[in-house]
Structure 1
Amino acid sequence: MGAVMNNMSEAPAAPNRRKGRWQLILILLVVIGPMTLATFMYKFQFWVPQSRSYHGELIGNGQTRADIGVQADEDRWQLLVTAPTACAADCQQLVYLARQLQIGLGRDASRASHALASAQPVSGDYEAKLNAEYPQLQRYPLDLSTFNKGAAIPGAAQLWIVDPHGNLVLRYDARATGKDLLNDLRHLLKLSNIG
């Protein structure tokens, strides 16, 4: 009778052990499965959406401000205009646009700054205009050889959105519209806890 009782008490343990193993396997699949799927999607580029919600060129290769020849120390989001040649009409338009974008941020304007990095000195007239109308514009020298290696379009004026760590996020050429840029910048600031 004692042997029968021992067998009866051990019998339910085997199904419970199998049930526990299946639960562990399911938990592991729920946790590890999505990470594995995401890794394969990234590596083999399948099921990746073709649409995007930004308007500029995404810089996703880890480039920083220094990689395009600008040495700056800024701990806010930055609208950086680079001028590898003389700051002509397209460069001046981007400088104006950068200032308007910062103003357009409204209550978030203090989270961003605007800057000009030029390889050549600006003309005397434009220098006077910058001093009078752009008092908050930060100015940096642009190392042309570094810029030509790191920039997508080396010879043209460009506007970059730079994060507070100095990483390049988005790039725009002189054809960019203020509305698209402002939408992109607002979206970045909304998602960001930094700057």
Structure 2
Amino acid sequence: MQPAIDMSETPPARRGRLPLVLMLVMVIGPMVLATAMYQWRFWVPQERTYHGVLIGNGQSRADLGIEGVADVGWQLLVTAPDGCRGECRQLVYLARQLNIGLGREASRASHALATAGPLDADYEAQLRREYPQLGIHSLDLQRYARSVTPTHEAQLWIVDPLGNLVLRYDSSTPGKAILQDLRLLLKLSRIG
């Protein structure tokens, strides 16, 4: 006569399957969920942490029509396709104030102006006197028009140390918002 088999004990192979299945679900589950969220756009946050227009297409200063600028760290660049008057002058002043507002991080950033035409002689003399660190560059209108819409307004750009455009602001953006964005970029950046 054969001894009776006790069915109350679980075979060792079955006991090992549950932890294996749980580990697979914990590893593969988040990847499947993230892929589904991306594919079908659900549970995607609508808010953002920056205040300008994000430039995420790999554009550089050269694409705007600004040539010959050495990579000098982070840059606050003001573009003025119609000459530098009114809003442009406010943005040039704001770029300098933002650079000063960085405090001990100010050496990581610079400010510059790119304009399509020559500056008014009085204003250029004022810039040389009051803004000695300001870089002044020429702007190629044809290349600028292909890259930027609208093309006639003065705009402020944040450019990374590699020359890539990161964020764009118009003259109505508050300076504190731009400074907040710039500080965050400098904090997160490992370059420049």
| 1:13-162 to 2 correspondences below 5 Å | 14-15=13-14, 19=16, 23-71=19-67, 72-162=69-159
Query: Which residue number corresponds to residue 8 of structure 1?
Result: none
Unaligned runs of 5+ in 2: 1-9
* Aligned counterpart in structure 1 of residue 184 of structure 2, from 173, 184, 187: 187
Per-residue deviation, 1:53: 1.7
Instruction: Provide the aligned C-alpha RMSD in A.
Output: 2.0
Aligned length: 183
Give deviations 1:104-144, integer Å, cap 9, x for gaps: 00000011110111111111011101110111111221111
- How many Å separate the matches in 1 of 2:144 and 2:75? 18
TM-score (norm 1): 0.84
Unaligned runs of 5+ in 1: 1-10
Does the CA-based 8 Å contact 2:72-2:110 persist in structure 1? no
Give deviations 1:22-44, integer Å, cap 9, x for gaps: 54554444334333433333343
2:136 is aligned with 1:176: no
Per-residue deviation, 1:179: 1.0
Query: Which residue number corresponds to residue 5 of structure 1?
Result: none
Identity %: 61
Greater displacement, 34-43 / 58-67: 34-43
TM-score (norm 2): 0.85
- How many Å separate the matches in 1 of 2:22 and 2:62? 47
CA 1:181–1:33 in structure 2 vs 1: closer, same or farther (change >3 Å)?
same
3-state DSSP of counterpart to 2:180? helix
Query: Which residue number corresponds to residue 3 of structure 1?
Result: none
Larger % of helix: which? 1
